[in-house]
Amino acid sequence: MPKLPAPPLPAPLKTPPPRPGRGNGKTGPLEEAQQAGITVVDWVDERTSLSGAARWMMFRKVPKGTNWFYTLGSATMFAFLSQAVTGVFLAMYYRPDPAGGAYESIRYVTNEVFLGQFVRGMHKWGSSVMVVLVFLHMGRTFFFGAYKYPRELNWVIGVVLLILTMAMSFTGYLLPFDQRAYWASSVGVNINGTGPLLGPYLSDFLYGGAEFNATTLSRFYAIHMLLLPGLIAALIGAHLYLVAKLGTTAPPWQKAGRPRELRETEV
């Protein structure tokens, strides 16, 4: 069968002609390295058309008056990413074993592992940073009226993200399995148990039984490092999709300008 000619590339995907290197008409190693990067991106894009989605997500008009308070959502997202990365390294050493293994593995990370104390510190302090940021971000969206039509669904997704973030802090607190972790978590789960209707079921679910037992720690660990991060990542995706689709809200003090068409007819 005769081979069909390849369809022509759209202009932005065409590899630009090589730029001459220092005066001798040849390309230098730097240009070649740059070209290699462009060629790989082109190759992937030609097969996936992902650049369209990236452009849709990244190149957006933002309302006049956008200010530093609008960075709080992204700051929360980066706090989450930092927790995810440091958490992966901690998981390489952590053992959810209530008979001394959990405490010992945390002691080992802190005192023996190269940069272990630093990574653990980042994860521990990062959790507080994320909680503070998520509240500040919620405050920003509330005071700027960003919860109103058409962004109610994004507010609801945000509320779920807030609850999941608090649940991350709660489940993470037990993992060092020292006296403070044990008693604080017991108090927390018992408080949950006093909730109306669902309370007792929730506490049974968290304990993995009627009271603290051998499976409680591994249950908290699975919820902390698999279930909640997965849910948070998926919901952040939905949250950002809606932000990109609906755009961000202008600050409440920003007055609406006259549309361009009307301004152009003015004398």
Q: Which two tokens stand for residue 88?
A: 């992966």
C-alpha 247/C-alpha 60 separation (Å) is 8
Question: Diameter of the chain by CA atoms?
Answer: 82
- Name which of 121 and 150 has its Cβ closer to ligand HEM: 150
Q: Is 70 in the site for ligand HEM (CB under 6 A)?
A: yes
Under 8 Å between Cβ of 222 and 130: no
Bond into 8 cis (ω within 30): no
Which of 72, 102, 206, 217 touches ligand HEM by CB under 6 A?
72
Nearer to ligand HEM, 52 or 145 (CB): 145
Q: Which of 86, 96, 127, 151 binds ligand HEM (CB under 6 A)?
A: 151
Closer residue to ligand HEM (CB): 72 or 217: 72
Q: Give me the 110-149 binding string for ligand HEM, x by CB under 6 A, dash otherwise.
A: ------------------------x--xx--x--x-xx--
Task: At 169, list the tokens.
Answer: 């802090």
Q: Which tokens in the block code for residue 26?
A: 């040849």
- Distance separating alpha carbons of residues 169 and 239, to the nearest angstrom: 21
- The DSSP line for 61-89 is ---TT--GGGGHHHHHHHHHHHHHHHHHH
Q: How many chain residues interact with ligand HEM (CB under 6 A)?
A: 29
Site residues (vs ligand HEM, CB under 6 A): 70, 72-74, 76-77, 80, 134, 137-138, 141, 144, 146-147, 151, 154-155, 158-159, 161-162, 165, 232, 236, 239-240, 243, 248-249
